[in-house]
Structures are given as structure tokens and as C-alpha cells.
Amino acid sequence: MKLEKDQIFNADCLSVLKKMPKNCVNLIVTSPPYADNRKSTYEGISVESYVKWFKPISKELLRVLKPKGSFVLNIKERVIDGERGTYVIELILEMRKQGWLWTEEYMWHKKNSYPGKWPNRFRDGWERCLHFTKEKGFNMYQDEVKVPTGDWASSRLKNLSKTDRIRDESKVKSGFGKKIENWIGRDTVYPDNVLHFATVCENKGHSATFPSELPEWFIKLFSKKGDIVLDPFLGSGTTAIVAKTLERHYVGMELNKTYYKLAKENISKFVPTKIKKRKVKGKEILSNERNIK
């Protein structure tokens, strides 16, 4: 299969990945389905089989990723019978056996974590963003995520107020250069490996597993314009939308038909491109043309 840019598949990611050529994507950002506590699950993945389920996928991801590319895995283990599940840390060990380098673990601090009160724990306010690479000398564009110093920056990080959000959205839409302009005269510093983003709620209009700021940060950090960003569990399409907005190409898979349609709808709505359907060798693929407004 030749890799067509900017398309999404309504299919199991493993089957699509196997048809993809090796070393073809620059960055993988995804948040896979979380494990399900129920013993017998027909759509979810059980806790017991999680590692076994994910291993063939991570093996293919290793194959399709370019040598200097990165794989960012957003995940968090469930509480199982009063304990934190061990399947995530077991997965790390298994992926290293496959050849992945566990380069870093970024922490996503969710300021608005799910409420609740229990006798043995507090609300869970963070998730892992595991950073895997194929080589030590992977691409990392640190200057693209520098943050300004001073109160303005820290307050923006801790609390995305309404004005900040407007600024943030315009920043994404107009590209990164404009943001730099806004910060001229200010000192900028490199961030640390802790990310402060609020989760998205349903009332924002579209449900998503992670806020757009999360893939945005990693896409800026680990890819450049024109690169290809892959999300094998696309969900409602957040990764693809952000990638396209940042002038990267996207490839995505989503098994669930409802989410696939939602992603397609969201992408067509948000991305300033005209999507055309085309038949190639009996298969329907997507190609896009630049929409010169």
C-alpha cells in the first residue's frame, strides 16, 4: 500500500498498519482505549489481555515510524481491586523488548480531574505521556515549545482563562510565527516535562480523550511542517485536526463507525482544505486540495 497523506480509515488499526510501508511516519501521537474492568468485554479491552492486545500494534508502530521519529503514548492505569493496575508498566517493559527506547515519561497534570471521594485515594489528577523512540538521536525541536517567563506565562499554564483560550486558538490558526511576534521583547525559557492542561468536557461541543493542547505540544516538539503524524486510535479526530492546523499531514485509524464519522465531520469542519473523494483501485481514499480562500 502506498501511503496517502491526510486520510483516515474506518478500520482496525492493526490491519491498516500492516499494509503501510516501513519508516513512513514522523510522529505517532495517540491515546489508546483504556482497559475495561469488566471481565468479559466485547468492545473494551480487558485488564488481563491489555498488554497482549497492544504488543502487535506497538510492533507495527515501530516498523512504520521513521528512524528519527517519536511515539507519544498517552495512557493511565485503572484502579483494579483497590490497586493501581500494573499493565502499563508491564507494557513499557515489553515494548523495550520489541526494540523501543523508553526515552522519557512526560506527565500531563489534569487540573480539572474527575471528582469523587473514596476512603483510600484522592481524585486522579495526572496521566502518563510515555515517549518512545527508535534511536537516541531522534528529532526534537525544543525551541518550538518555549514558554515566556514571568507571571503571564505561568498563569496561562495553570489556568487557561477565556482570554488566554482566545489567544491560544488564534495562535493555532495563524501558525506559530505569530505567537513569537506576540512574545517579542519577552524572555522565553524551555519548559520541563510536566504539562498543565485542562481536560475537555462535553459541553465544549466535541468529546475528546485529550485536549488539543496535548497533541499540539508534542507535534510541535517532535515534528516539523510537512511531516506525517499518525494516530492509530483517532477517536473524534483531535490529533488530525491539530496536525493539519500546524501544517503537518495526518494519518488516522478509528474502528468505531460513529467516532469515525465524527472525526471525518470534525476534520472537514476545522481544516481549511477541500476534501474530495476519489476511487483508486476500487478503494475509496481521500485526497485533499489546498483551499485558497
Which residues contact its own copies by CB under 8 A? 81-84, 86, 89-90, 92-93, 96, 101-105, 107, 109, 111, 113, 117, 119-126, 136-138, 140, 142, 150-151, 154, 157-159, 190-194, 196, 291-293
Binds 178, which of its own copies, DNA, none (CB < 5 to 8 A, cut-off by type)? Answer: none
Binds 138, which of DNA, its own copies, none (CB < 5 to 8 A, cut-off by type)? Answer: its own copies
Binds 258, which of DNA, its own copies, none (CB < 5 to 8 A, cut-off by type)? Answer: none
Q: How far apart are CA 180 and CA 176, in angstroms?
A: 7
Residue type present at position 168:
D
Q: How far apart are CA 144 and CA 176, in angstroms?
A: 8
Tell me the Cα Rg of the chain: 19
HSE at residue 186, side-chain half, CA atoms within 13 A, is 15
Work out whether the CA dihedral 199, 127, 271, 155 comes out positive or negative. positive
Residue 219: all three cell numbers together: 507535534
From 112, 170, 182, 287, residue interacting with DNA (rule: CB under 7 A): 112
H/E stretch holding 147: strand 147-148
> Would you count residue 290 as binding DNA (CB under 7 A)?
yes
Binds 165, which of DNA, its own copies, none (CB < 5 to 8 A, cut-off by type)? Answer: DNA
Q: How far apart are CA 35 and CA 49, in angstroms?
A: 9
Looking at the Cβ atoms of 221 and 246, the one nearer to its own copies is: 221
Binds 74, which of its own copies, DNA, none (CB < 5 to 8 A, cut-off by type)? Answer: DNA
Of 3, 6, 26, the closest CA to residue 270 belongs to 6
The one-character DSSP state at 128 is: E
The interface with DNA within residues 20-49 (CB under 7 A) comprises: 31-34, 38-40
| Interface residues toward DNA, by CB under 7 A | 31-34, 38-40, 74-76, 78-79, 82, 111-112, 114-121, 123-124, 127, 136, 149-153, 156, 159-160, 162-163, 165, 186, 189-190, 198-205, 207-210, 233, 290
